[in-house]
Amino acid sequence: MKQTLRLAALSLVLGLGLLGAGQMATPSAAAQGQAQPTLPTVTLQAGIHLVKAEVANTPKTREIGLMFRERLAPNHGMLFVFREKAGHCFWMRNTLIPLSIAFLDDDGTIVNIEDMAPRSEASHCPKRPVRFALEMDQGWFAKRGLAAGAKLASPQVFGKR
């Protein structure tokens, strides 16, 4: 009996050691119900308007996006960057603020804009394959007269592969 308990304890200790050695992934910020830390930013220009956009360019940062954020600063948003053009669709699970999303061509031209309700699992997709999407406070684009065909500029982002 004591031998069995010792073996069970040893197995538990070894198992915990393996978990600490990276056998089990650390829960992401989204899994823990937290917003991800602020990401590096780029400045985008839409006519006379400047946008400070956090750049989500990895699977993890794109997955978490603006989840659990309670607000955006004025003229701030998140730019999602993908390696390949595709019909990258978005939803608003765990996103607390209403957003508008602009799907962008490689040169920064707006393909289409969708308004997205908080905490919704409805899909919002581009009308054609894109590599970029910009999320802003809901109505930001409309209030500035920006619609499909308008162009955003950034030497750091658009035109690069």
Band of pLDDT at residue 51, cut at 50, 70 and 90 = very high
Residue 157 sits at the vertex; the CA angle it makes with 52 and 44, to the nearest 5 degrees, is 30
Q: Residue 83: is it exposed, middle or buried by C-beta count within 10 angstroms (0-12/13-18/19+)?
A: exposed
Determine the Cα–Cα distance for residues 45 and 108; give it in Å rounded to an integer.
10
Give the tokens for residue 22.
């990276």
**Is 4 part of a structural domain of the chain?**
no
Max CA separation in the chain (angstroms): 78
List the domain range (segments joined by +) for residue 99: 41-143
The pLDDT of residue 111 is: 98
CATH number, domain at 124? 2.60.120.1140
**Is 8 part of a structural domain of the chain?**
no
**Is 161 part of a structural domain of the chain?**
no
**Is 118 part of a structural domain of the chain?**
yes
Determine the Cα–Cα distance for residues 67 and 37; give it in Å rounded to an integer.
11
Model pTM score: 0.80
**Is 57 part of a structural domain of the chain?**
yes
Return the sign of the alpha-carbon dihedral for residues 126, 151, 85, 136. negative
How many domains is the chain partitioned into structurally? 1
Band of pLDDT at residue 35, cut at 50, 70 and 90 = confident
Determine the Cα–Cα distance for residues 53 and 49; give it in Å rounded to an integer.
12
Question: What proportion of the chain, given as a percentage, has pLDDT over 70?
Answer: 78
**Is 11 part of a structural domain of the chain?**
no
**Is 102 part of a structural domain of the chain?**
yes
Mean pLDDT of 113-120: 97
Band of pLDDT at residue 104, cut at 50, 70 and 90 = very high
